[in-house]
Amino acid sequence: MKNVIILILAIILSSCAATKEQNYWVNSSKTDCVGVTPMKCLQVQKSETLNPNNWESFSSPIEGFDYQEGFYYQIKVKEENINAKDIPADASSVKYILVNVIEQKRDNKWFLYGEWTLEKFKGELIKGDPAESIPTIEFILGENRFAGTDGCNRYSGEIAVLNDTNMEFGMTMGTKMFCPSIKYSDQFLMILNQIKTYKVQENTLHLFNEDAEEMLTFRKNK
């Protein structure tokens, strides 16, 4: 009888060790990663509390999880260890299965995705300029970066602050072409570095300085 009890306990402990449930946070955008080929991966955190700056690339599928970009998720995931002989080549040794979705929340920053073209410069409507001389900006949120053209030179940098209302741009790097006839190039990046808050209304992006003055207005490219 004693041996039977020990055997049952061993089976129970072995089962617990092979399977566990974990709280996952899932970011609203995917990021570039490399598996067998270049691909897009989820960004996750395995923790009870969320740290907005602690995302990790996650390349394995989560069975039953219907992910949509543009939403944050808190989910419960069951992690099952797979027998070594049953693991496909280049696959994870753990199987991930959705238990339930605890929370799904829209990420308002998602509407920033893509490329925008400058429509107003310090309140002045831009018209009659050739397309190549008009500044643009693109938000690459999965990499926390921005890039574009100031109407002459290409530029890029990291997004220093971004939440539902606040936006600040980090140090910017760019090319150094000489373009004396370009109207906005010499001021655009300087003004971009003054931006503190933003608002998106349909396909229009409004950027404001610390005095709540609208400095730049962009139109979303189709």
Q: What is the pLDDT of residues 115-167, one digit of tens each?
A: 999 999 999 988 765 655 889 999 988 788 999 999 889 999 999 999 889 99
> Which of 192, 155, 157, 194 minimizes the C-alpha distance to 177?
155
Place of tokens 């020990």: 6
Q: Are residues 215 and 135 in the same domain?
A: yes
Which of residues 106, 140, 166 is at a domain's end?
A: 106
Decide if 12 is inside a domain. no
Domain range for 207: 110-220
On whether the CB atoms of residues 150 and 176 are closer than 8 A, the answer is: no
H-assigned helices in the chain:
2-18, 185-192
**pLDDT tops 70 at residue 29:** yes
Residue 5 pLDDT exceeds 60: no
> Residue 85's pLDDT is what?
62
Residues 125 and 190 in one domain: yes
Q: Is the pLDDT of residue 11 over 50?
A: no
What are 37-69's pLDDT values in tens digits?
788 999 999 999 998 778 999 989 999 999 998
Q: Is residue 9 part of a domain?
A: no
167 within a domain of the structure (yes/no): yes
pLDDT band at 209 (very low <50, low <70, confident <90, very high): very high
Picking from 46, 71, 106, the residue at the C-terminal end of a domain is: 106
Hey, is 43 helix, strand or coil?
strand
Separation CA 60–CA 41 (nearest Å): 8
Instruction: Answer with the one of 106, 124, 157 that is the final residue of a domain.
Output: 106
Q: Are residues 183 and 129 in the same domain?
A: yes
pLDDT at 10 over 50: no
Strand pairing of 94-106 and 71-81? antiparallel
Q: What global pTM score does this model have?
A: 0.63
Q: How far apart are CA 113 and CA 70, in angstroms?
A: 10
The pLDDT mean for the chain works out to 85
CB 216 within 8 A of CB 121: yes
Whether residues 133 and 211 fall in one domain:
yes
Structure tokens at 139: 């938000």
Whether residue 90 is found in the same domain as residue 145? no
Question: 192 and 123 share a domain?
Answer: yes
What span, in angstroms and rounded, lies between the C-alpha atoms of 217 and 126? 10
What is the per-residue pLDDT across 183-199, written as a single tens digit (0 to 9) for each?
777 789 999 999 999 99
Mean pLDDT of 97-104: 96
Same domain assignment for residues 52 and 137? no
State residue 179's pLDDT score.
76
Specify whether 134 is located in the same domain as 213: yes
Averaged pLDDT for residues 95-101: 95
